[in-house]
């Protein structure tokens, strides 16, 4: 029985659990109509958008006012939970600091002088600017950047229909290296069956603060119920560390040494899965030869994890296989060698044979959705401005490589880029070295931002096109693959409060003015109707409206790729321990360890991470969330703090090679002596983000560096000086 219905049944209430589930949207309304004195209470199932996880929820609406967001237990990923941010979604909707009308800049960029305009004027203005730049520099003179959203597809389609090759997304700030590493190895990026694993190793994947559903809930379950053993490596004592069976404050940037030593032990002690390796993998001999040099004693020096523990963990891990996983991690934008580290994990997972097995790695199942056919456009003719082919031949074309792109735009190479359209992204906060991002904004002839609040990026825009929030709009249906794939529906729960539009309508409005209407000649309803067509029920749209989520019952399924003639999507059709693609592209085909640069005397390595109650840089202005941590603080270990005369809460100045910020110190033993940490999303420039305006901004400190294979930003390669002020 599900939890939501627990009391209904227990108390023998009039409405049974099943009824509540299926008639969620309608029954209460009808019931209430009978009794006039009761305020009608609507229960509308929809999907959270306070972060990337897309949890299912039920909005409680009375008299057109959103009262509460409750979790919807029908989603097997979010499993009847809504996190702090999900619960605080109400505040995003009713935030007084939202952008309430389209606006055009009147003063200097960043001066904060705006003219409130109607949509026609705003769209005319943006379209005219874009056309002028296209005229002068060609369509490639425009840059289109966005982060994941159900409506992102329209924005991206517009960029392509417009003819620009230059779209850039968040992955190279986030998970590009891990995605590429697993792709080159397995031909796909699998999920990890955390729920059924018996032995889990995590390198800085802070699942209990950085929520990923269902992994977060599965991990709580498997560790706190002692079903699995969790080995956690992180320079910080995170909440995940607090629940782990073993925590090792590893020296940052050395995880690959730990992994290679595990490979060394497992192979030299014949603990790998011989049958699996010989049937499904290629390149084992070369791997075995390659890892001979990487002994636990050597790795102990590098990682500062005792050799005996490396031996033991390697043995325990292989003993527990196939229900043993070296969890991939999500934000893998750590070091210049991040890709190799993720490759090492993938190989380690492969040789113990946890592929497509319960408690191991499972290739993602999907639910087929339909697609609306629209007029195709011609592919852009110009090459990308970040010169992916030359610099990062294996990187995902559609995502781009953000830092290289910024370098080229700033240099005007290979051609000028003079317009920047930004959708649901805050590059000023999300990209390292804010000063350069600011330069990039400043060198644009036109900047258009589609956002819901005055982000630091919006503050420097020429026109702001305010989007309706996720609680006010109808979005395309979204499929989320995984061990249990789901189809998600997001419907408006209240009418738009302000003069805002969904991205789709903004895109249509721009397309019309850019003479691209023919490519957007449909409605959202038509789009959705096509999407849901293949779903296996009579009235799929009604089903989605009532339930908000569909999860096919036949999952989880294991072993569908486990037959000797299965071809993996790799060059050889096998799991490539030694990667042909890497070799061809001129990279090391096996992961080679490079010692990270050492922390200079008197400095600290700046590491990043999340709190469970903030999303990136975008929720620190939410009063309910902000109250848990009204400003950020610099974590510093008592030992170095002592010698610098820093006490808890004293103000410190943190300086890197590219900037310096001031914030309060938090003296805590929860961090290595050679690292400092600060929470992302504070020290904002935009005065409209009143609450997030305190503390310091990490984006101002982080230096530009990237992983050479994936192009992923290397966010932990910055050394800072700390001084008491």
Partner 1 sequence: MAMRTKRYALAIDAKKCIDCKACVVACRAENGVPLGKSRNWINEELRGDWPKLMEVFEPEQCHHCEAPACVRVCPTGASYQRADGVVAVNPSECVGCRYCMIACPYDARFFREDLGVVEKCDLCAHRLDRGELPACVETCPSKVRIFGDLNDPTSEIHQILEKRQYRLKKREAGTGPQIYYLL
Q: Given candidates 17, 57, 97, 174, which one binds Mo ion under the rule CB under 5 A?
A: 174
**Residue 184 in contact with ligand MGD, rule: CB under 6 A:** no
DSSP codes of every residue in 14-28: SS-HHHHHHTTTTHH
Q: Tell me the closest approach of the beta carbon of residue 54 to ligand SF4, in angstroms.
A: 6
| Beta bridge partner(s), residue 231 | 201, 246
Q: Tell me the closest approach of the beta carbon of residue 413 to Mo ion, in angstroms.
A: 28
Q: Given candidates 8, 236, 501, 637, which one binds ligand MGD under the rule CB under 6 A?
A: 236
Q: Which of residues 57-116 bind partner 1 (CB under 8 A)?
A: 67-71, 79-84, 86-88, 90
**Crossing angle (nearest 10°) for helices 524-532 and 540-547:** 100
Stretch that binds partner 1, among 102-110, 489-497, 514-522, 666-674 (CB under 8 A): 666-674
The 8-class DSSP code of residue 190 comes to -
How many residues make up the chain in this entry? 725
Question: Whose structure tokens read 């409209």?
Answer: 688
Whether residue 322 has a cis bond before it, omega within 30° of 0: yes
**Residue 97 in contact with ligand SF4, rule: CB under 6 A:** no
**Residue 475 in contact with ligand MGD, rule: CB under 6 A:** no
**Residue 248 in contact with partner 1, rule: CB under 8 A:** yes
**Residue 211 in contact with ligand SF4, rule: CB under 6 A:** yes
| Beta bridge partner(s), residue 365 | 482
State the alpha helices, DSSP H only, in 150-229.
152-162, 176-186, 215-224
Q: In whole angstroms, what is the distance from residue 634 CA to residue 655 CA? A: 12
Q: Given candidates 18, 116, 242, 375, which one binds partner 1 under the rule CB under 8 A?
A: 242
SS (H, E, C) 655-703: ECCCCEEEEEEEECCCECCCEEEECCCCCCCCCCCCHHHCCCCHHHCCC
Q: Which of residues 319-348 bind Mo ion (CB under 5 A)?
A: 331
**Buried b / exposed e along 507-517 (16+ C-beta atoms within 10 A):** bbbbbebbebe
Q: Which of Mo ion, ligand MGD, partner 1, none sits in contact with 93, Cβ below 5 to 8 A by type? A: none
Q: Tell me the closest approach of the beta carbon of residue 85 to ligand SF4, in angstroms.
A: 4
**Residue 354 in contact with ligand SF4, rule: CB under 6 A:** no
| Beta bridge partner(s), residue 465 | 450
**Residue 83 in contact with ligand SF4, rule: CB under 6 A:** yes
CA-angle at 716, arms to 715 and 717, nearest 5°: 100
Q: In whole angstroms, what is the distance from residue 145 CA to residue 163 CA? A: 14
Tokens of 330: 């999500």
Q: Which of residues 582-641 bind ligand SF4 (CB under 6 A)?
A: none
Q: Tell me the closest approach of the beta carbon of residue 244 to partner 1, in angstroms.
A: 11
The maximal CA–CA distance of the chain, rounded, in angstroms, is 79
Q: Given candidates 17, 24, 51, 127, which one binds ligand SF4 under the rule CB under 6 A?
A: 51
Q: Which of residues 122-161 bind ligand MGD (CB under 6 A)?
A: 147
**Residue 408 in contact with partner 1, rule: CB under 8 A:** no
Q: Tell me the closest approach of the beta carbon of residue 339 to Mo ion, in angstroms.
A: 16
Q: 78 vs 167, which CB is nearer to ligand SF4? A: 78
Q: Is 213 in contact with 55 (CB distance < 8 Å)?
A: yes
Q: 41 vs 109, which CB is nearer to partner 1? A: 41
Q: Which of residues 663-702 bind ligand MGD (CB under 6 A)?
A: 680, 698-699, 702
The 8-class DSSP code of residue 219 comes to H
Q: Is 166 in contact with 695 (CB distance < 8 Å)?
A: no
In which element (H, E) is residue 519 found? none
Residue of this chain nearest to ligand MGD (CB atom)? 204
Q: Given candidates 4, 8, 85, 666, which one binds ligand SF4 under the rule CB under 6 A?
A: 85
- The helix, strand and coil proportions of the chain, stated in percent and rounded to the nearest 5, come to 35, 15, 50
**Residue 53 in contact with ligand SF4, rule: CB under 6 A:** yes
**Residue 82 in contact with ligand MGD, rule: CB under 6 A:** no
Shortest CA distance to 158 belongs to which of 402, 521, 519?
A: 519
Q: Which of partner 1, ligand SF4, Mo ion, none sits in contact with 90, Cβ below 5 to 8 A by type? A: partner 1
Q: Which of residues 63-82 bind ligand SF4 (CB under 6 A)?
A: 78, 82
Q: Tell me the closest approach of the beta carbon of residue 469 to partner 1, in angstroms.
A: 16
Q: Given candidates 24, 25, 42, 55, which one binds ligand SF4 under the rule CB under 6 A?
A: 55
**Residue 249 in contact with partner 1, rule: CB under 8 A:** yes
Q: Given candidates 5, 28, 73, 86, which one binds ligand SF4 under the rule CB under 6 A?
A: 86
Question: Whose structure tokens read 């305006």?
Answer: 693
Q: Tell me the closest approach of the beta carbon of residue 95 to ligand SF4, in angstroms.
A: 15
Q: Which of Mo ion, ligand SF4, partner 1, none sits in contact with 8, Cβ below 5 to 8 A by type? A: partner 1
**Buried b / exposed e along 544-569 (16+ C-beta atoms within 10 A):** bbbbbbbbbeebbebeebeeeeeebe
SS (H, E, C) 398-446: CCCCHHHHHHHHHHCCCCCCCEEEEECCCHHHHCCCHHHHHHHHHCCCE
- Provide the binding-site residues for ligand MGD, judged by CB under 6 A: 49, 51-52, 147, 170, 173-175, 203-206, 209-212, 233-236, 238, 250, 252-253, 255, 329-331, 334, 423-426, 429-430, 450-453, 455, 467, 469-470, 607-610, 612, 614-618, 680, 698-699, 702, 715-716
- Provide the binding-site residues for Mo ion, judged by CB under 5 A: 174, 331
- Provide the binding-site residues for partner 1, judged by CB under 8 A: 3-4, 6-8, 10-11, 13, 15, 67-71, 79-84, 86-88, 90, 208-209, 211, 216-217, 220-221, 224, 237, 239, 241-243, 247-249, 612-613, 623-625, 627-628, 637, 668-670
């Amino acid at each position: 029985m599900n939890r939501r219905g627990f009391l209904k049944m227990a108390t023998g209430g009039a409405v049974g659990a099943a009824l509540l589930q299926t008639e969620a949207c309608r029954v209460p309304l009808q019931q209430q109509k009978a009794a006039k004195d009761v305020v009608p209470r609507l229960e509308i199932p929809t999907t959270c958008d306070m972060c990337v996880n897309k949890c299912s929820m039920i909005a409680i609406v009375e008299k057109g006012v959103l009262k509460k967001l409750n979790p919807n237990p029908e989603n097997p990923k979010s499993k009847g939970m809504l996190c702090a941010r999900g619960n605080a979604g109400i505040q995003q909707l009713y935030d007084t600091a939202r952008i309430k009308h389209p606006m055009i800049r009147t003063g200097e960029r960043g001066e904060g002088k705006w003219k409130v305009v109607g949509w026609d004027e705003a769209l005319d203005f943006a379209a005219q600017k874009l056309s002028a730049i296209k005229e002068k520099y060609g369509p490639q003179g425009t840059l289109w950047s966005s982060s994941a959203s159900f409506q992102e597809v329209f924005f991206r389609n517009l960029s392509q229909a417009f003819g620009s090759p230059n779209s850039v997304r968040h992955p190279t700030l986030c998970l590009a290296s891990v995605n590429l590493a697993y792709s080159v190895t397995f031909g796909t990026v699998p999920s990890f069956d955390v729920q059924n694993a018996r032995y889990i190793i995590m390198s800085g994947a802070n699942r209990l603060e950085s929520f990923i559903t269902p992994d977060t809930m599965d991990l709580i379950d498997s560790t706190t119920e002692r079903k699995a053993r969790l080995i956690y490596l992180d320079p910080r004592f995170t909440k995940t560390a607090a629940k782990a069976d073993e925590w090792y404050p590893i020296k940052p940037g050395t995880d690959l040494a730990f992994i290679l030593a595990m490979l060394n032990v497992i192979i030299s002690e014949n603990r790998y899965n011989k049958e699996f390796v010989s049937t499904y993998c290629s390149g084992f001999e070369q791997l075995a030869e390659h890892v001979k040099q990487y002994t636990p004693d050597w790795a102990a020096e590098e990682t500062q994890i005792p050799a005996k523990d490396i031996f033991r963990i390697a043995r325990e891990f292989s003993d527990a296989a196939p229900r043993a996983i070296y969890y991939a991690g999500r934000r893998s934008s750590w070091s210049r060698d991040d890709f190799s580290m993720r490759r090492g994990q993938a190989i380690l997972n492969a040789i113990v044979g946890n592929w497509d097995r319960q408690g191991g790695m499972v290739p993602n199942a999907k639910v087929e959705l339909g697609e609306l056919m629209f007029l195709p456009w011609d592919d852009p003719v110009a090459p990308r401005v970040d010169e992916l082919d030359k610099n990062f031949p294996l990187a995902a074309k559609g995502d781009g490589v953000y830092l290289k792109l910024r370098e080229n735009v700033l240099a005007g190479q290979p051609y000028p880029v003079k317009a920047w359209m930004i959708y649901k992204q805050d590059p000023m906060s999300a990209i390292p070295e804010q000063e350069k991002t600011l330069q990039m904004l400043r060198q644009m002839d036109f900047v258009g931002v589609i956002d819901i609040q005055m982000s630091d990026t919006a503050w420097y825009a020429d026109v702001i096109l305010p989007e309706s929030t996720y609680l006010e709009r109808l979005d395309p249906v979204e499929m989320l693959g995984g061990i249990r794939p789901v189809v998600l529906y997001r419907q408006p729960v209240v009418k738009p409060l302000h003069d805002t539009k969904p991205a789709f309508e903004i895109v249509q409005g721009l397309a019309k003015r850019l003479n691209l209407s023919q490519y957007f000649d449909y409605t959202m309803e038509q789009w959705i109707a096509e999407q849901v067509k293949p779903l296996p029920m009579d009235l799929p749209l009604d089903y989605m409206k009532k339930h908000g989520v569909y999860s096919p019952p036949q999952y989880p399924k294991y072993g569908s790729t486990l037959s000797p003639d299965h071809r993996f999507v790799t060059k050889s059709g096998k799991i490539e321990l030694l990667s042909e693609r890497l070799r061809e592209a001129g990279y090391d085909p096996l992961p080679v360890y490079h010692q990270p640069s050492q922390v200079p005397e008197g400095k600290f390595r700046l590491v990043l991470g999340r709190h469970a109650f903030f999303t990136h840089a975008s929720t620190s202005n939410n009063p309910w969330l902000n109250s848990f941590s009204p400003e950020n603080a610099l974590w510093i270990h008592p030992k170095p703090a002592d010698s610098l005369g820093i006490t808890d809460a004293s103000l410190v100045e943190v300086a890197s090679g590219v900037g310096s910020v001031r914030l309060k110190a938090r003296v805590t033993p929860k961090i290595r002596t050679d690292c400092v940490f600060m929470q992302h999303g504070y020290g904002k420039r935009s005065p409209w983000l009143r609450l997030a305006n305190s503390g310091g901004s990490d984006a101002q400190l982080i230096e530009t560096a990237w992983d050479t294979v994936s192009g992923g930003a290397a966010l932990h390669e910055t050394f800072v000086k700390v001084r008491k002020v």
